[in-house]
A and B are shown apart, each in its own frame.
Chain A
C-alpha cells in the first residue's frame, strides 16, 4: 500500500457511508458520449490524497480492458475516465477501484464540471492586476517628481491602461450594484461602483485638461484588491460545494423496470408511472413508493423515519421511497409517480419552509446600508462647503471625490470576505463544508440546537458489544457468514472480525432468510446466525432483550451470542456538554419510538426530547421556537428532517445524510465526530468577532483619514498609502483566525459512547 491506506485515513473518511452499489446502467446513464463509440465518466473518488493514490487509481483504471484513459484530479478528488463498451458492457470501473480500497461513485453534477464563474473572476483579476500594477509603476514616477510633458504622457498611458480594468474587471461590481439598485436596495458594491466610476471620470477629465493629479492608480488597485477577496471567497465556497456534490447519491436516479414480457431495463425515476413493476435488489434503496408484490426482506428505515431498527416486510407491505433493502430481493408495484411520492412531499414541504424563512441580509450589506449614506453625505457636504467657500467647482468636486476614494470601502469590502475565507478554510480542514456564505454569520446568532436522533446523535448503525467474549471459532464462522449479507448487524460483525483469523469452514451455500438470519451449509453441518429462537430451534430461548441479541448455532447447538447496540456518534456527549456550557439550549426531535429516544436523552442528559414526530411536527417545533424569538440550528440527516433543515435558521447535516437533507442544509460535516457542531459554532463566533474588529479598524481609519480629505489635503499618493495600509491591517487581522483557535472545543476521542438501545438482528 502507498503512504495512505485510503480507508484508514482520517482526513476525508466519510462517516457512515455504506458502499452504494452502482449498476452498470447507472454508469452508462451518467456518462457522456464523446462520439466514435467512446464515453467519458466522471467518478468521485474521495479517498485519493497523494501521488501514490493517483498512481494506484490511474494504473488500475488504465489497465482495465475497455478503458482508454484515466486521469485523476487530486484537488477535486475526481477521476475522468474515457472508456469503450466491450460487447455492450461498460468496464466495471467502480468495482475495480473498490477492490484496491478506493470507494468511488458516479459523479453527476449538472453535466459540466467547469466553473464559469471562477474563470470569469480569475480573468477579471488578471486584467485588473496587470493594469493596476502598470499604472502604479507610472504613478511612482509621477510621485517622484515627473513633470510637464512626461507627467502628461504618463497620465494618458494610465488612462489607457485603466480602461480595461474599469470596463472588464469592474463590470463584476457594477452589475451587482445595478441589480441591487434596481430592486431599491443597496449592497457593498454600490459605494464601490460610485467611488471607482467617479474617481475614473474625474481623473480622465483632469488628464484631458492637463491637470496635476489623477487617481487612476486608486481606482484600479481598489478593483484589484476587492477582486482578490471576491475570488478567494468564491474558490472556498466552490471547493466546499464540490466536496459535498462529490458525496455518494443515496437515492437512486434510476430503477430497474420489469416489462410485461419479463425484460428488465433501467429507467430514470422521473419516467416511472404508478402501477409499474420494479425490482429492488439487496443493498438498493426503494426508488419510489410502492407495494411489495413478491419477496420479503428487512428494510432499513433510518433515513426515512428515523427508526433505527430494521423492519421485516413481506408481500402486500407498503414501502416508501428511500428505504434500504437489506436482506432479500423484492419486486414492487409502484403506487405513486415521482411527483406525489414521499420524496416529493418532502421537497414540497421544504419549499414551503424555505419560503417562510425570513430572508437573511448579509452583514456586509447591512453595514453598507448604514455606511454608504454617511459617506455620500460627507462627500456631498464637503463639495457644498468648498463650493460656498471658494466657488471653485472643479476644486470642490476633486475634494468630494477624494473623500469618496479615501473612504471607499476597500477595508470594508475586504473586512467580511477575507475573514470568511479564512474561516471557511479552517472549517474545510476540519471536514466541515460551508455551502452558503451567510451560514457562518447566521451560525453566530443561534441559541438553540435541535438534534435528530438516528444517524445524527447516533451513527444509525449497530455495533457489536461483546466481541471479546465470543469464542474465536464462533467469531470466524460468523464473520465468514456475515460477509454474505448487507444487514447492519452483519456489517457490525464483519467490522469486528479478528485480524489473524483462522480459516472458516468451506460453505457450500449461504442463504439469507428475511426477518430471521443467515443459514450456511457445509457438508451436513448447518450453521445459523440470527434470531435466537430460529437459530437454535428453541423458541423458549428468547429472553429479556430479544432484539439486540443474535446467536450463532451449529446444527441447533449454540456457539456464540452476539450483543448489539446502536452507537453514539463520537464526542456526542461532550458536544452536548460544551453546548450547555455555552448557554445553548438543546433538544432531540426524532421520528423513532419514545423509549428509544428517552434512553438516548437520559444518556446525553438532554431534558427536552420529542419522539414519534412526523416531518411536519419537526418543522412545527422549529416554527414554535422561532416564533418565541429563538434562533435554531437544526442538525439532522434523514429524509424526514429535510423540511426541518430548510426551515431552521441554520442547518447542518452529516455527510451520511440523505441527498435531499444535504441539499437543504447550509453546512455539511464529513467526519464521524459530532464535535463538528461545536467546532463550527466556535469558528463562526471567532470569525464574527474578527469581522466586527475589522469594521472597527475600517471606521477608525476613516475617522482619521476623512478630515484630511475634507480639508483637501489628500493627494493621490496619500490616498494610495492610506488605502493599502488599511487593507493590509484588515487582512492581517483576518489571518489571526488561522492560528487563533487550535484544537477547537472538543478534543477528538476515538471511543464512542454506547447506549443500550435494542437493535433487531435478523442476520
Chain B
C-alpha cells in the first residue's frame, strides 16, 4: 500500500527540510552572512592567526 511508505518518507523529508531551515536561521543569527565579500577574500590569507 502506497500510503504505508509515504507515511514515513514524507515526514522524514519534511523533518530534514526543517533541519536545513533551522541550520540556515542559526547561521544567519550567528553573523555568518555579515561579510560575504570578506569571507571570500580571507581564504587568500595564509597567516590568519585567529
A contact set with B: CB distance below 8 Å = 50-51, 54-55, 72-76, 119, 122-123, 126-127, 130, 133-134, 137-138, 149-150, 153, 157, 161
Contacts and interface: CB of A to CB of B under 8 A. Distances in A.
Contacts of B45: 51, 54-55
Contacts of A50: 41
Contact of A130 (B17, B28, B41, B44): B17
B10 A157 contact: yes
A150 B42 CA distance: 50
Q: Interface of chain B, helix or strand or loop or mixed? A: helix
B3 A149 contact: yes
Contacts of A150: 2-3, 6
B16 to A, nearest CB: 10
B21 A75 contact: no
Smallest CB-CB A-B distances: 4 pairs? A74-B38, A51-B44, A51-B41, A73-B35
A55 B38 CA distance: 11
Contacts of A138: 10
B29 to A, nearest CB: 8
A123 B35 contact: no
A367 B22 CA distance: 38
Given A150-B3, A153-B6, A161-B14, A74 B25 contact: no
B3 A75 contact: no
Contacts of B34: 73, 75-76
Given A55-B47, A123-B25, A126-B28, A74 B18 contact: no
- Select the residue from A50, A72, A74, A138 with max chain B CB neighbours within 10 A: A74
Given A50-B41, A51-B44, A74-B38, A126 B3 contact: no
A158 B25 CA distance: 22
Contacts of B29: 119
A134 B12 CA distance: 12
A130 B21 contact: yes
A434 B45 CA distance: 33
Contacts of A73: 34-35, 38
Contacts of A127: 21
Contacts of B47: 55
A178 to B, nearest CB: 26
28 contacts: A50-B41, A51-B42, A54-B42, A54-B45, A55-B45, A73-B35, A73-B38, A74-B37, A74-B41, A75-B36, A75-B38, A119-B29, A123-B25, A123-B28, A126-B21, A126-B25, A126-B28, A130-B17, A130-B18, A130-B21, A134-B17, A137-B13, A149-B3, A150-B3, A150-B6, A153-B10, A157-B14, A161-B14
Nearest to A149: B3
A463 B46 CA distance: 43
Interface in B1-27: 2-3, 6, 10, 13-14, 17-18, 20-21, 24-25
A134 B15 CA distance: 11
Given A75-B34, A130-B18, 11 more contacts: A51-B41, A51-B42, A51-B44, A54-B41, A72-B38, A73-B34, A74-B35, A74-B41, A76-B35, A134-B17, A153-B6
Contacts of B36: 75
Given A73-B35, A126-B28, A153 B42 contact: no
Range for the number of chain B residues in contact with chain A: 20 to 34
A119 B28 contact: yes
B34 to A, nearest CB: 7
A74 B36 CA distance: 8
Contacts of A157: 10, 14
Nearest to B21: A130
A130 B24 CA distance: 11
A122 B6 CA distance: 32
A733 B37 CA distance: 27
Contacts of B25: 123, 126
A123 B27 CA distance: 11
A138 B17 CA distance: 13
Contacts of A74: 35, 37-38, 41
A76 B28 CA distance: 17
A681 B21 CA distance: 42
A24 B23 CA distance: 42
Contacts of A134: 13-14, 17
A137 B10 CA distance: 10
B40 to A, nearest CB: 8
A666 to B, nearest CB: 26
Nearest to A50: B41
Given A54-B41, A153-B3, A157-B10, A75 B28 contact: no
A126 B24 contact: yes
Contacts of A133: 17
Contacts of A123: 25, 28
Nearest to B1: A149
A310 to B, nearest CB: 40
A149 B3 CA distance: 8
Contact of B28 (A55, A72, A122, A137): A122
A161 B21 CA distance: 13
Nearest to B49: A62
Contacts of B41: 50-51, 54, 74
Nearest to B2: A150
A539 to B, nearest CB: 60
B15 to A, nearest CB: 11
A660 B17 CA distance: 49
A50 B40 CA distance: 9
A127 B36 CA distance: 21
A74 B13 CA distance: 38
A690 to B, nearest CB: 27
Contacts of A75: 34-38
A677 to B, nearest CB: 28
A76 B6 CA distance: 48
A168 B19 CA distance: 18
Nearest to B7: A153
A399 B24 CA distance: 38
A127 B34 CA distance: 19
B5 to A, nearest CB: 11
A407 to B, nearest CB: 31
Contacts of A55: 45, 47
A153 B9 CA distance: 13
Contacts of A130: 17-18, 20-21
Nearest to B38: A74
A696 B3 CA distance: 47
A515 B2 CA distance: 94
Nearest to B43: A51
A123 B21 CA distance: 9
A639 B28 CA distance: 40
B12 to A, nearest CB: 12
A42 to B, nearest CB: 13
A69 to B, nearest CB: 8
A441 to B, nearest CB: 29
Contacts of B28: 119, 122-123, 126
A571 B14 CA distance: 59
